[in-house]
Amino acid sequence: MKRSIILFCFGFLILIGGLLFFPVHTKANQNQSVFSGLYLIKGENVELSQVDISISVKNEETSTVTATYEATNTGSDTTSILMGVPLTELSMTDVKFRFSPYLYNSTIVSGDKINSLINNMSVNYASWRTFSFEIALKSGETKTASVTYTTENYSSEDGRLGFNIDLDHLASWSDKPKKVRINASFDPRTVQIYNFDNEFSIEPTEMSPQYNLTWEFDDVTELKEITFNYFPVDEKIKDEIIKGGDGELQEFVTAYETRNYPEVIKIGKEYVKRSQDDKVQNLVYLLMADAYTAQKDYTQTLAIYELITTSDIDYGDLKDRIENKIFINKIISMENLKNYEEMYDLIIYEQSKTNLGAYFEDWLDNAYNRIPEEDLEALIEERKPPTKFEMFLDDFLSGNFTVILIAASIGIVILLIIIYFIRRKRKNKFFY
């Protein structure tokens, strides 16, 4: 009996200790920010001149966040400042806190000890990671505070990676920064425009040819957060292939990942000859098309897309993204083959849609502008709607007015005969 009581008490103490000293992690939800901000927890007359926040999406699982804050003590006395980052359900590792020019240790503190210290706003975070102690900033002195860490990505059930960047925290500083710059970058080997959703909460100021996203603001008074979704389409295609295939398809995916494109084509051809699964077969074709594109065999790329688009396959959540992938790669192939006529028609058709995002519209405009000027002018002239007279003349020359023409001709002959007899009768009256 005593032994049972002792074991119960011991287990109870372990449970309590675990709750007190080990944070409870739950599945991240879509409202979790990859960056919730570097807050000014304590300090007076500390103003920001510039804030730079950078997110580098490393892969499906993790991203690296680096944020720098240029802070100035505008007061007449030295002030002691304490800064920290609130913790969310997204795990945070490899954390480094700096205050130029030194690297500082950090510590995890209960939200009850920090939340009430934040000026100008109400927050309710369960825990914080803060600089390990307060730092002195002399009057008129400007220094840079920064935080760098690796964060877990939020992933929805359909595979979207969600990125929220919270800007509310800027209100904790004495004055809003004069300039805020936010950058999101992606693995250049995998990023494609079809990985992005059609909309951002705030449209990027700029999107580079490598699809790096940049937001720049001189006034952040009305800004709350920046959100966007990113869907690693090709990764999901590979996942679906492995799920529906066998060991041979694992080799196929490995060849694709290592860029062994001749092997991708070889294994792909062998598989589609004997495949009974139309969906997996089409997914294999998609990666084969990528392999042909990498080898600059654009004719084969277009031939595969022609084959795929004639089939009626349900790709589920991948449907729209696969259509975008095919469309974009078609344009790239047509451009390289100098098939500007089909390229032009495809772009004009896509531009007529109403659900395009601003970044995709920009991509289409750039593709349109890459058509050589001479070819573009000829295509515009050729595709120009005909005038009513041109339509009439075309119908006339095509023989569409044959009956009307015969009737009109007969009418004209009859009219001429009548005129002839009338004139002849008048002439006879003149002589009598």
Distance (Å, rounded) from C-alpha 260 to C-alpha 249?
14
* pLDDT tens series, the chain, 432 aa: 444 444 444 343 333 333 333 333 333 344 567 888 999 999 989 999 999 999 999 888 899 999 999 999 999 999 999 999 999 888 889 999 999 999 999 999 999 999 999 988 889 999 999 999 999 999 999 999 999 999 998 888 777 888 889 888 998 988 778 899 999 999 888 888 888 877 788 888 888 878 889 999 887 777 778 888 888 899 899 989 998 876 779 999 999 999 999 999 999 999 999 888 888 999 999 999 999 999 999 999 999 999 888 777 888 878 888 988 999 999 999 999 999 999 999 999 988 877 777 778 888 898 999 999 999 899 988 877 666 654 555 566 566 656 666 667 777 878 777 777 776 666 555 444
Note the pLDDT of residue 7: 41
CA atoms within 13 A on the CB side of 266: 6
In sign, the C-alpha dihedral spanning 302, 308, 311, 317 is negative
Note the pLDDT of residue 428: 55
Note the pLDDT of residue 424: 66
Buried b / exposed e over 207-227, threshold 16 CB at 10 Å, is: beeebbbebebeebeebebbb
Note the pLDDT of residue 219: 77
In sign, the C-alpha dihedral spanning 348, 352, 354, 355 is negative
State pTM to two decimals: 0.73
Note the pLDDT of residue 199: 74
